[in-house]
């Protein structure tokens, strides 16, 4: 599979639910170009098990993303009406009430396909009938998109494996540090720690002080 790293994030315009309950048409990440970085993540389905733990974890850290001028956007292959219903269901009943970041509806599965996270593919059987091979939902893909609209980081988990919101924040910090200072970020780097210049001397200096 071709990587999207250093490429423009695939364009889309789709229905979405924003602010926890407002359904809008023609939602696009293009609105953030030149203004904000974006963490765009896919999850398999509404009203499931691992998915609400991730979505609520992003909501819990939403202010941390906002402080970094980062927009968080989610997407699944459910309809905007399913998103709306889930967003208006209490947590004690399996819902995600209180989540305010946008959730995009990808009923056609074209967004998941273009981002390379569709957990299967369309094909034809021996009778020439269109079939789907695999699971017709999105893998747990996460894409960090910079202000220019370029993908700078991605991670794709299988359906059973939840992601780390803390790691997503760390990657945001690493990208912003590089953009501001031109320094690259070593293994397990966190904001406030020493980074290094991408030279032999820079690496030697960093390692000698560990």
Q: Is 154 a catalytic residue?
A: no
Q: Do the bridges between strand 103-105 and strand 70-76 make them parallel or antiparallel, or are there none, so unpaired?
A: parallel
Annotated active-site residue in 51, 75, 154, 185: 51
* Number of Cβ atoms within 10 Å of the Cβ of 164: 14
- CA gap 113, 164 in Å, rounded: 23
Residues 6+ apart with CB under 8 A from 175: 37, 144, 146, 152, 153
How many residues are present in the chain? 210
Active site residues: 51
């Amino acid at each position: 599979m071709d990587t999207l790293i250093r490429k423009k994030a695939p364009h889309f315009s789709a229905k979405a639910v924003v602010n926890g309950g407002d359904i809008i048409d023609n939602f696009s990440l293009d609105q953030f170009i030149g203004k904000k970085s974006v963490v765009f993540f896919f999850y398999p389905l509404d009203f499931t098990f691992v998915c609400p733990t991730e979505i609520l974890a992003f909501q819990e850290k939403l202010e941390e993303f906002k402080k970094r001028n980062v927009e968080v956007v989610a997407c699944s292959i459910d309809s905007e009406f399913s998103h709306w219903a889930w967003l208006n269901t209490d947590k004690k009943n399996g819902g995600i009430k209180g989540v305010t970041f946008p959730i995009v509806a990808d009923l056609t599965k074209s967004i998941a396909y273009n981002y390379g996270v569709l957990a299967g593919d369309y094909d034809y059987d021996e009778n020439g009938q269109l079939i789907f091979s695999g699971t017709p939902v999105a893998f747990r893909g996460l894409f960090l998109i910079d202000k220019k609209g370029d993908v700078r980081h991605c991670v794709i988990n299988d359906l059973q494996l939840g992601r780390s919101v803390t790691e997503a924040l760390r990657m945001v910090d690493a990208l912003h540090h590089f953009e501001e200072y031109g320094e690259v970020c070593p293994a397990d780097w966190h904001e406030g720690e020493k980074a290094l210049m991408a030279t032999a001397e820079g690496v030697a200096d960093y390692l000698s002080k560990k």
